[in-house]
Structure 1
Amino acid sequence: MITRILFVSPGRGSRILSLSPTSSFTMKSLKRWIRRRREIAAIAPRSRELEDEIGKTLGESVRLVPAPMKGGYDEIFTVEGCRRLGILRLNNPIKDQQDPIGPLDPGIPLDDRGRIDREWHAYSMLFPLGLSPEPLVRGPDFMVCSWLPWDRASRRLVVDSGEIWSLLETVLPAIASMHGTGLTHLDLNLGNVLFDPCSARTCLIDFEFGPAPWVREDQQKAFDYLRLIEDCTKPRRGGVNLKSDLMRLGTLLNAIVPAEIRSAGLDFVFAKLQRLAREDGVCDVLREVFPGLPQDNFRRT
């Protein structure tokens, strides 16, 4: 049996979706698609205003194209002119994205204005170092940065997990350089890293979190390294390659991680990084660099 659903999008006409029992477009997918269309429709007037505002600033007519269906706290658009000019982050008042935040989570999601402020500040500090896109235009509820034709590291490693070492040799020094500017990320998974293996360059993106009131700066910095390493243990993201040569991982970290953050107290880490807690061999190597990492991988306080 084929089910057909008519969906009407304000200002954009209607669309018929056909679903069969074997369709990969499931009812759950349909609900996500409908929610996404509603979110985009809610900010359509603001999007049209920004096309004019951004176009005047950049000096040419632009069109804003919504990014594919995704999570996150803001709406993301590509800024299209005679070529792709940038990426827009826009607050959406009706978007309700709530991540569960535990009492030992070192990073907490910022409010709408806070995310714009933090990302603009981060890119302003990192772009001169070649470690982020260029910040181009901003307002109270949006910012535009340059577009880079690079994949997220998470996608690169799914295609070729053998790139894990060239990635780490590039991104670990980038983390140290970021920390040298006084910045921390607090959600540094592979999806928030852009990587170009041809030029061996990387950029750090999506600064949406701020530090919890109790976490010290040295703990934040240590957590950035540990959060990235945890993501690298996933099988589809180079985990097998990583764990096949843990001595190499230890050598890299020892060469890059500054002495002043190695003694950070890290009792809170495994409450958040539970995948990492299950990796005994990786944790043994990490303790040689971060002796404050609990000996009991499942310690919670």
Structure 2
Amino acid sequence: MGGPARRRVVDEGFVQRLSAVADVVPGVLEDFESPSARRVLADVDVLVTGWGCPPLTAQVVAGAPHLRAVVHTAGSVRSHVTSAVWERGIAVSSAAAANAVPVAEYTLAVVLLAGKRVLASAEAYRRARDHAATVVSDAGGNYGSTVGVLSASLVGRRVVHLLRPHDVRVLLHDPYVPDAAVRALGAEPVGLAELFERSDVLTVHTPLLPETRGLVDAALLARMRDGATLVNTARGAVVDAEALTAELLSGRLHAVLDVTDPEPLPAQHPLWQCPNVLLTPHVAGSAGNELRRLTDCAAGEVERFAAGRPFAHPVTRAAMERSA
């Protein structure tokens, strides 16, 4: 993993848990090419990876003849798990499920705030501070409102689960999930166009794949109700940035954007000054003490592997084709 990842996730407790079931090589590799790295790779059975891990190319895999498992302390393994890993039959695990927890919690919070029109009310309150007592909350509320969830990803499924105690109607669109399975999750299955037409708040959880780049385009955004809110905690490029900017600057829609395209936006981009947009710096994912959840997940996977048990959170080649 890269230096920043090492400083964020490798603490004494993590190393102690690994050391209880394995011989842990001192230090952290930041590359696979140096002589010292090649010496380490020649002996390892399990490679624990993190953000900034270089690709496990065919050459790297060939230099690690004993490698049997890759345990990732973050979500996506797309940047470093290559076809060479699958062809060798190396097992792969990811902490994506652990990272989904804070993203879903953040999403729940902003969905409910959006339904209450909190951002608009706060802005009106600020502007009218000289006569604040006269400010009355704008129309809004969550009782009986409709929340649309785009994609039954790990985060999307958890968002549906977290919405269950609330008095909202939940719609879900995912072309890979049968209607019966969507209903079992606690949501109403709908088509893509209907999702955008009916949602008061629509939250995007689609992984960025070649076929999903720009999926949320001008035509779909135009189907959203006046005053509806788009929440994006997935990837900025899933949404047509130009089309979304036009809708937001018109004042017709609201948005909570934890991700953008590009990320961050240029300093002079108009969305920085757009009052109906909340921009956050990719904070929905694991941060602070939430990183411990990632390392606990990874340590648990190494413990399972050492005990001869299957991973609790395996990643398969087929699944990776449709996931982040």
Tell me the TM-score normalized by structure 2. 0.28
- Which gives a bigger RCO, structure 1 or 2 (Cα 8 Å, sep 6+)? 2
Bigger radius of gyration, 1 or 2? Answer: 2
Q: Is the strand fraction higher in 1 or 2?
A: 1
TM-score (norm 1): 0.29
